[in-house]
């Protein structure tokens, strides 16, 4: 008599953009039962949550939670405060010394912490986050050394870590895109069946007519990187822009 094999659960951070959609597809094709988590954090591009819901459905996430966390009271970012989103900057700006104004203080630290809480309740031990070198764009919380340090802290912070049988905690944080260019990510996502027309990358989208999930501005850092990625990957760009 065979027992039905159960898939291990994974919590996947899902913003509704290209990277997190690809990350979800990779996790699902890797044999995980995927639980998507999005964040309603006061972002000006809040319509990305609609895109996240479309992506979660297309890629058959088993559950999709949106966690409310108000990062506006900290302020300090063009993505949450009343500061203009920069437009038409070069796509290949260096990271490190130049952290852009769209940086949200401690965002991935906060999002991963909330995802760990969800993972603990679901009894999941695997998390997926779609950070990568290009999307880094100077964001310090998109680098592997941070992820490794965070996983260590999370294993010391939680019941799952304390009670793990191997004594060293057992959350695993997967970063399948960390070493990929945007073009590589697009090719990988396409191979795993991501419908990129459902995704939204823009930091400053406009909701117009029937497209409740927003049209992309085409000029913010995120749009510039996305356009360049489709061109380099040799894929048709299905993005709907306000001004083509």
Residue 141 in contact with residue 105, Cβ under 8 Å? Answer: no
Task: Name the one residue in this structure whose structure tokens are 């995704």.
Answer: 199
Residue 37, phi then psi, degrees to nearest 5: -130, 125
Neighbours of 162 (CB within 10 A): 11
What is the C-alpha to C-alpha distance for residues 234 and 9, in angstroms, rounded to an integer?
34
CA 34 to chain centre: 14
Q: Which is nearer to its own copies, 37 or 55 (CB)?
A: 37
* Integer CA distances (angstroms), 104 to 43, 129, 202, 243, in order: 10, 17, 15, 27
To the nearest whole angstrom, how small is the minimum distance from the Cβ of residue 170 to its own copies? Answer: 13
To the nearest whole angstrom, how small is the minimum distance from the Cβ of residue 189 to its own copies? Answer: 26
**Which residues are CB-neighbours of 57 under 8 A, at least 6 positions away?**
64
Q: Which is nearer to its own copies, 30 or 140 (CB)?
A: 140
Q: Which is nearer to its own copies, 35 or 192 (CB)?
A: 35
To the nearest whole angstrom, how small is the minimum distance from the Cβ of residue 70 to its own copies? Answer: 4
To the nearest whole angstrom, how small is the minimum distance from the Cβ of residue 96 to its own copies? Answer: 7
To the nearest whole angstrom, how small is the minimum distance from the Cβ of residue 147 to its own copies? Answer: 9
What is the C-alpha to C-alpha distance for residues 102 and 94, in angstroms, rounded to an integer?
15
Q: Which is nearer to its own copies, 66 or 206 (CB)?
A: 66
To the nearest whole angstrom, how small is the minimum distance from the Cβ of residue 146 to its own copies? Answer: 4
Paired tokens of 53:
């819901």
Residue 10 in contact with residue 173, Cβ under 8 Å? Answer: no
Q: Which is nearer to its own copies, 99 or 208 (CB)?
A: 99
Residues that bind its own copies (CB under 8 A): 65-71, 73-76, 96-97, 99, 103-110, 112-114, 116-118, 120-121, 140-141, 143, 145-146, 149-150, 152-154, 156-159, 161-163
Q: Which is nearer to its own copies, 221 or 239 (CB)?
A: 221
To the nearest whole angstrom, how small is the minimum distance from the Cβ of residue 114 to its own copies? Answer: 6
* Integer CA distances (angstroms), 85 to 57, 67, 101, 223, in order: 30, 24, 8, 12
CA 215 to chain centre: 19
Q: Which is nearer to its own copies, 157 or 190 (CB)?
A: 157
């Amino acid at each position: 008599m065979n027992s039905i094999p159960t898939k291990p659960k994974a919590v996947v951070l899902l913003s509704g953009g290209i990277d997190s959609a690809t990350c979800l597809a990779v996790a699902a094709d890797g044999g995980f039962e995927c639980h998507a988590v999005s964040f309603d954090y006061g972002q000006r591009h809040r319509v990305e949550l609609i895109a996240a819901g479309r992506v979660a459905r297309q890629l058959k996430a088993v559950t999709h939670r949106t966690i409310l966390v108000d990062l506006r009271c900290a302020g300090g970012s063009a993505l949450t405060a009343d500061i203009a989103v920069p437009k038409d900057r070069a796509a290949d700006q260096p990271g490190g010394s130049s952290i852009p104004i769209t940086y949200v203080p401690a965002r991935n630290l906060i999002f991963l912490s909330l995802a760990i809480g969800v993972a603990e309740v679901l009894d999941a031990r695997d998390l997926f986050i779609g950070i990568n070198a290009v999307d880094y764009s100077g964001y310090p919380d998109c680098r592997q050394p941070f992820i490794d340090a965070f996983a260590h802290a999370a294993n010391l912070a939680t019941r799952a870590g304390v009670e793990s049988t191997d004594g060293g905690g057992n959350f695993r944080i997967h970063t399948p895109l960390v070493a990929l260019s945007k073009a590589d990510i697009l090719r990988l996502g396409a191979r795993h069946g991501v419908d990129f027309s459902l995704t939204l990358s823009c930091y400053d989208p406009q909701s117009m007519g029937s497209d409740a999930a927003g049209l992309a501005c085409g000029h913010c850092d995120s749009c510039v990187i996305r356009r360049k990625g489709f061109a380099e990957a040799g894929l048709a760009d299905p993005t709907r822009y306000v001004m083509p």
